[in-house]
Amino acid sequence: MDWYFPTELKEVPPLLKKEGLAPHGGGTGLLRTGLSRLKGLVDLSGLHLDAIEENNGSIILGSSSTYSMICRTLMQKDPGSILPKALSMSASTPLRNRITLGGSIASFPIWSDLMGPLIALGSQVNLLKETETKHPVEYISGNRELLKGSLITGIEYKKEWPLSWYHRHTRVAFDYPLFTLTILLKIEAGRIADSRIVVIGTRNRFTRIYELETLLAGRSADSPDPVDLMEKMPELEFPERKTASSGQLNCLLKVWLRRGIREITGGERT
Ligand SMILES: Cc1cc2nc3c(=O)[nH]c(=O)nc-3n(C[C@H](O)[C@H](O)[C@H](O)COP(=O)(O)OP(=O)(O)OC[C@H]3O[C@@H](n4cnc5c(N)ncnc54)[C@H](O)[C@@H]3O)c2cc1C
């Protein structure tokens, strides 16, 4: 196995063009999936891609930022942000100190705590191949061939969602989630003006529940219980798991959706 240690971004595209070379972020995913198909790894730590900045109402995160760095920095720069809520619950402390943003977008495991928040926030991903391009993370997640031979250099999102709620559905705290649920809401003059609802862990890895977002628009934020909306919710397709069928996961999802919408609009937990 050959290792490469670029210190400038321009060195990376020619390396990633070579067969069998892949970027190395935190290494936690690479170790899990195995290295036998690879000839070499491109270590990203010398590229200084771990800055987390605020610019003109947007948050810009470098791709080598770890889950821990994102939690620590966003508590200051974007208090109330969905990202620290979600990432602080994932994996374990030593793993959160290693797992990077870039490696987590590129690998997008079905248990990801990162991707729901990033999709809901409408984040843009910066890619470097021959040239630099920018794509919505939701688009990249459905068109993963775009990532082949590309380096993710960072992401950017607008700080425009003050209300956020996150649920990670596990059997025990230290477990991969069976699904995660991200809810973002904007309330104006007592009514729900806009929302984003994203589930990770469905058959296509993620589902944004557009139907529910539409049903919520214009609804009074004081409505005590969104139980009526659950009847209109489409059934999502989850992969069959040993521990839970798709039907069971749909039932659990509806329970957590009701709780989430109640809590984010100021209601008490049921
Ligand atoms: C025991 C365990 C439990 C975990 N639990 C959770 C959890 O609960 N929630 C959660 O969200 N995550 C969890 N993870 C992390 C997750 O499964 C992945 O391992 C992690 O997201 C990969 O990130 P990384 O930085 O380590 O990537 P790497 O292992 O370095 O890379 C993964 C893939 O991405 C590519 N890559 C890396 N960086 C870039 C880049 N900048 N641009 C393009 N491609 C790149 C690599 O070539 C490789 O193909 C867990 C991991 C372990 C080992």
pLDDT tens for the chain, residues 1 to 270: 999 999 999 999 999 999 999 999 999 999 988 888 999 999 999 999 999 999 999 999 999 999 999 999 999 999 889 999 999 999 999 999 999 999 999 999 999 999 999 999 999 999 999 899 999 999 999 999 999 999 999 999 999 998 999 999 998 877 899 999 999 999 999 999 999 999 999 999 999 999 999 999 999 998 767 888 888 999 999 998 888 999 999 999 999 999 999 999 886 555
The DSSP output letter for 10 is G
CATH number of the domain that 76 lies in?
Answer: 3.30.465.10
Q: Are residues 148 and 72 in the same domain?
A: yes
Domain termination site, one of 118, 143, 158: 158
Pocket test for ligand 1, best of 68, 104, 140 (most atoms within 8 A of CB): 104
Note down the domain range covering 35: 2-43
- What's the domain count of the chain? 3
Nearest to 24 by CA among 11, 40, 39, 43: 43
**Helix and strand numbers, DSSP H then E, in the chain:** 11, 12
Cβ atoms 141, 115 nearer than 8 A: yes
| Residue 113, SS3 per DSSP | coil
Secondary element (H or E) of residue 97: none
Q: Are residues 187 and 244 in the same domain?
A: yes
Scan for tokens 């929302």, then name that residue.
195
**In a domain? residue 18:** yes
Q: CB under 6 Å to ligand 1: residues? A: 22-30, 32, 44, 63, 90-91, 95, 98-100, 102-104, 106-107, 109, 111-114, 151-152, 176
**In a domain? residue 256:** yes
